[in-house]
Amino acid sequence: EPGAEWWRSAVIYQIYPRSFADASGDGIGDLAGITGRLPALRELGIDAVWLSPFFRSPQRDAGYDVSDYCDVDPIFGSLADFDALRDRAHELGLRVIVDLVPNHCSSDHPWFQEALAAGPGSPERDRFMFREGKGEHGELPPNNWQSIFGGNAWTRITEADGTPGPWYLHIFDTSQPDFNWKNPWVWEQFRQILRFWLDRGVDGFRVDVAHGLMKKEGLPDIVQVAEAGGLADAISAPDEVPYWAQPEVHEVYRDWHQVLAEYEGDRVLCAEAWVEPLAKAALWVRPDEMHQAFNFSYLGTPWEAERLRSVIDESIAAFTAVGAPSTWVLSNHDVVRHTSRYGLGTYGAAPASGIGPKSADKPDDVLGLQRGRAATALMLSLPGSAYLYQGEELGLPEVIELDDHVREDPTFYRTNGEVYGRDGCRVPIPWETAGPAFGFSASGESWLPQPDRFARFARDVQQGDPASTLELYRAALALRAEHGLGTGSVQWLEGFADDVVALRNGTVIVIANVGAHPVPLPAGELLLASGPLTDGAVPSDTTVWIAAS
Ligand code: ISL
């Protein structure tokens, strides 16, 4: 069957709808804007797009707070606009993946409003995680869980008669109440949501917080496994956190796998599970569960040869063990853009933290872009599926200079002059050097201001310039397809210095010079170079692809 299991080697491009292209002129990107720009993505050489949430939402967490899973938020357009987008994408040979947010909904969702109105002991309340507080008058939260977005994970409600009521759980923002996944009613709603979008022709789902959903029986206090801070603890020891990675969550995904299997055409489920180590993250991928999981271990790996080699080996081993290819990802809407991370030294702003990356430090933009391009050229040579985040093909840096008052991310805070928050990687895309809002919006509006320095990253100035980041991505994607790199395998090459990552994938030799000294260019036709070569050598922070003779 042509295209069978297409996702195994696919390059999937993440669109962040509010920042991609604005057709309506209100300064917020929309579905019609995306549809108009799809040919540009086709030319780039990607296989699929994944759209971050565009569903009805009060936008407290940029759409990850859904108030209607089966409708389009008016700021993004209508269901008819979605249908037009899907048709145009399919016409161009691009698959369409949508974002599913099952851990929580918006507190504006009618289900939560009904739960508030229905009162204690009602079936409506049982759809969410309501618990009586501790203390003499229930004035203390039910346990010590902290929200990923900061503060307590519980909010107390007031009953209709004015008396203080129970508390509800929100692992994220207080406007994002967690569902009670022990309730079959919740299962049924999500089956229906899946079918709604599958009937509408989507090719798959990216599943938000796929390690969440189920909570440990009895909701025990969290045992602090590292210093206070919740998030780092949760990543380093996810199975010790009673709201992450509970075994029962796999039953949910087995159920969804069955729903997808009712449909033709290889629909896919991809888990956003921030779980380490890789062998544990791979637990989300099973012949009867998810098809893929994001490889966040790779995203968090410093620019060091030894670490890169081992994460590549471990990724391939972990996912091969469960019968799936690895995925590769360097950037998304939650982390500091990778060009800026690499410009902050070997590691940069801790991307493994997911939420709340530090973006106040001034990265070295030149070094960051050079390393970012080298890292991308390495990533795209690897077998498996690669995820790109809009704007990385332009080499966009993190926008650290945003004023506090324009920032919208609920995770934003400033302390001792340092900024934490995710707005810096969400600034609207520069399409044209000279256009209003750099071509993002015909009205010139832009929900986050674009810095002047975006002019030199605009797509139109890069188009056709072989030295540009855009043309590097385009060339890499074309060669990746031509040489079947997505379905190949990694063979490490001997005879290179320790600080050089040297591998062979099928007919292509890949040299990533992570070290300080130039590496002589091996014999063979030069297919791709992430930066200029000097005197027949591969300089530091540069990756080349060579045709094996
Ligand atoms: O759980 C974490 C660490 O163990 C977090 O990194 C978490 O997985 C991540 O923050 C989830 O992000 C997703 O859900 C959030 C939303 O704000 C993000 O934009 C989204 O990608 C809440 O829906």
Q: What is the CATH number of the domain that holds 313?
A: 3.20.20.80
Query: Cβ of 532: how many Cβ atoms within 10 Å?
Result: 9
Examine the domain organization and report whether 384 and 518 are in the same domain: no
φ, ψ of residue 124 in degrees (nearest 5): -65, -40
Judge whether 518 lies within some domain: yes
How far does residue 291's CA lie from ligand 1's centre (Å)? 20
Which of 59, 97, 209 to mutate for ligand 1's pocket (most ligand atoms within 8 Å of CB)? 209
Q: Are 302 and 344 in contact (CB under 8 A)?
A: no
Examine the domain organization and report whether 306 and 398 are in the same domain: yes
The predicted structure's pLDDT at residue 2 = 57
* Ligand 1: nearest atom to the Cα of 235: 4
How far does residue 68's CA lie from ligand 1's centre (Å)? 20
SS3 279: helix
How far does residue 472's CA lie from ligand 1's centre (Å)? 30
Q: Which of 138, 169, 200 is the last residue of a domain?
A: 169
How far does residue 21's CA lie from ligand 1's centre (Å)? 24
What distance in Å separates the CA atoms of residue 87 and residue 472, rounded to the nearest whole number? Answer: 29
Radius of gyration of the chain (CA): 23
- The parent domain of residue 84 ranges over 6-103+183-472
Nearest CA to ligand 1 atom 19: 334
Q: Residue 139 catalytic?
A: no
Helix axes 31-44 and 79-91, enclosed angle (nearest 10): 10
Task: Give all strands of the β-sheet with 164-169 in edge-to-edge order.
Answer: 130-131, 164-169, 154-158
Examine the domain organization and report whether 411 and 285 are in the same domain: yes
Nearest CA to ligand 1 atom 16: 64
Please report where in the chains the tokens 């966040």 appear, as a residue.
296
Name which of 292, 505, 279, 269 is nearest 380 in CA terms: 505
How far does residue 539's CA lie from ligand 1's centre (Å)? 37
Nearest CA to ligand 1 atom 23: 64
Q: In the structure encoding, which two tokens stand for residue 25, read together?
A: 């002129």
Judge whether 512 lies within some domain: yes
* Ligand 1: nearest atom to the Cα of 104: 23
Nearest CA to ligand 1 atom 11: 209
Examine the domain organization and report whether 52 and 124 are in the same domain: no
Examine the domain organization and report whether 117 and 244 are in the same domain: no
Nearest CA to ligand 1 atom 2: 274
Judge whether 58 lies within some domain: yes
Q: What element of type H or E holds 256? A: helix 249-261
Pocket residues for ligand 1 (CB within 6 Å)?
61, 64, 101, 148, 172, 208-209, 231, 234-235, 274, 333-334, 354-355
Name which of 348, 367, 408, 298 is nearest 19 in CA terms: 408
Name which of 528, 411, 542 is nearest 477 in CA terms: 528
Examine the domain organization and report whether 429 and 507 are in the same domain: no
What distance in Å separates the CA atoms of residue 518 and residue 288, rounded to the nearest whole number? Answer: 47
- ipTM for the predicted complex: 0.95
Judge whether 477 lies within some domain: no
Residue tagged active-site, from 5, 262, 401, 418 = 262
Strand partners, 534: 537
Examine the domain organization and report whether 87 and 142 are in the same domain: no
Which of 208, 225, 235 to mutate for ligand 1's pocket (most ligand atoms within 8 Å of CB)? 208
Nearest CA to ligand 1 atom 5: 354
What distance in Å separates the CA atoms of residue 272 and residue 205, rounded to the nearest whole number? Answer: 10
Examine the domain organization and report whether 137 and 275 are in the same domain: no
Name which of 276, 272, 167, 294 is nearest 225 in CA terms: 276
Global confidence as pTM = 0.96
Name which of 293, 407, 427 is nearest 356 in CA terms: 407
Residue 322 to residues 278, 319, 383, Cα–Cα distance (Å): 12, 5, 15
How far does residue 224's CA lie from ligand 1's centre (Å)? 20
Positive or negative CA dihedral for 235, 240, 242, 245? Answer: positive
* Ligand 1: nearest atom to the Cα of 64: 23
* Ligand 1: nearest atom to the Cα of 238: 4
Please report where in the chains the tokens 């922070």 appear, as a residue.
541
Q: Are 520 and 546 in contact (CB under 8 A)?
A: no
Kindly give the pairing relationship between strand 11-15 and strand 48-51. parallel
Residue 385 to residues 11, 266, 315, 316, 391, Cα–Cα distance (Å): 6, 15, 12, 11, 19
Which of 106, 334, 389, 425 to mutate for ligand 1's pocket (most ligand atoms within 8 Å of CB)? 334
How far does residue 55's CA lie from ligand 1's centre (Å)? 17
* Ligand 1: nearest atom to the Cα of 65: 23
Q: What is the pLDDT along the chain (549 residues), one digit of tens a residue?
A: 657 899 999 999 999 999 999 999 999 999 999 999 999 999 999 999 999 999 999 999 999 999 999 999 999 999 999 999 999 999 999 999 999 999 999 999 999 999 999 999 999 999 999 999 999 999 999 999 999 888 999 999 999 999 999 999 999 999 999 999 999 999 999 999 999 999 999 999 999 999 999 999 999 998 765 444 444 444 445 557 899 999 999 999 999 999 999 999 999 999 999 888 899 989 999 999 999 999 999 988 889 999 999 999 999 999 999 999 999 999 999 988 999 888 875 444 344 333 334 554 677 889 999 999 999 999 999 999 999 999 999 999 999 889 999 999 998 888 776 778 899 999 999 999 999 999 999 999 999 999 999 999 999 999 999 999 999 999 999 999 999 999 999 999 999 999 999 999 999 999 999 999 999 999 999 999 999 999 889 999 999 999 997
Which of 15, 67, 148 to mutate for ligand 1's pocket (most ligand atoms within 8 Å of CB)? 148
The reply to whether omega before 277 is within 30° of 0 (cis) is: yes
Q: In the structure encoding, which two tokens stand for residue 542, read together?
A: 């540069």
Name which of 196, 222, 193 is nearest 208 in CA terms: 193
Examine the domain organization and report whether 453 and 361 are in the same domain: yes
How far does residue 64's CA lie from ligand 1's centre (Å)? 9
Q: Are 338 and 350 in contact (CB under 8 A)?
A: no
Examine the domain organization and report whether 516 and 467 are in the same domain: no
The CATH number given to whatever domain includes residue 144 is 3.90.400.10
The CATH number given to whatever domain includes residue 508 is 2.60.40.1180
Nearest CA to ligand 1 atom 1: 274
Q: Percent helix, strand, coil in the chain (nearest 5)? A: 30, 20, 50
* Structural domains counted in the chain: 3
Positive or negative CA dihedral for 17, 45, 392, 313? Answer: positive
Residue 1 to residues 4, 65, 95, 212, 265, Cα–Cα distance (Å): 6, 38, 16, 35, 10
Positive or negative CA dihedral for 298, 302, 307, 309? Answer: positive
Judge whether 479 lies within some domain: no
Q: Residue 262 catalytic?
A: yes
What distance in Å separates the CA atoms of residue 218 and residue 142, rounded to the nearest whole number? Answer: 10
Residue 427 to residues 337, 407, 447, Cα–Cα distance (Å): 11, 10, 8
Examine the domain organization and report whether 158 and 291 are in the same domain: no
